[in-house]
Amino acid sequence: YAAGSVLAHCGNTQVLCTVSASEDVPRWLRDSGQGWLTAEYRMLPSATHTRKSRELMKLSGRTQEIQRLIGRSLRAAIDLEALGEITLMVDADVIQADGGTRTTAITGAYVALEDAIASLIAKGTLKTSPLKHQIAAISVGLLEGDAFLDLNYPEDVAADIDFNVVLNGDLGYIEVQGTAEANSFSRQQLNQMLDYAEVGIKRLMTLQKEALG
């Protein structure tokens, strides 16, 4: 079984996040004393309003992009040298999608990661926690000139601009992904969206701590 797991809900979006541990590392890290964290992301066929075929032999560009984002974000949470030669595999499986699946996956996966680290310490696999930062993520966007936080699917489709923002517990920026679909945006609007993101992520981090007890 997975060392850590959580079912993350953000609105109607639900993502099952698990973290498994293997006392091995990729070839290029062997005998380095350093660990690794990687991620896989999938959507169940029935996660959307109309059934979507499973990705079997070849992953879509979107799926590859999202799982790389999840991996990058969570590697920012952990000291890979302190982890030792252990690989942590994050699995994020979307059960129901209503916008913000990648940000929900990151926020939930952090909880599963902390749960997994506690399990590994209890088993004696790790002596101390290699975690160095709490991580959470949220979406923001502009819809008819107004800033929106944590966009659902209809809002995301209609948005002129949408961003995914990943922050650590010090409100340091891990990643900002954003694009203008139709109109450009001003520096003032960008600052407003980032301000919204910080407010939302502070709330998410409080919820993460509550979930972890």
Give phi and psi for 160, each to the nearest 5: -75, -35
How confident is the model over 31-50, as a mean pLDDT?
89
Find out whether 94 and 47 touch, Cβ atoms under 8 Å.
yes
pTM of the model: 0.94
Name the CATH topology of 4-212: Ribosomal Protein S5; domain 2 (3.30.230)
**Residue 147: per-residue pLDDT:** 94
User: Which pair of structure tokens corresponds to residue 120?
Assistant: 């590994």
Asked whether 201 and 165 are in contact (CB, 8 A), the reply is: yes
123-151 tens-digit pLDDT: 999 999 999 999 999 999 999 889 999 99
pLDDT digits (tens, 9 = 90+) for 100-125: 999 999 999 999 999 999 999 999 99
Q: For 79-105, what is the mean pLDDT? A: 96
First to last CA, the chain: 22
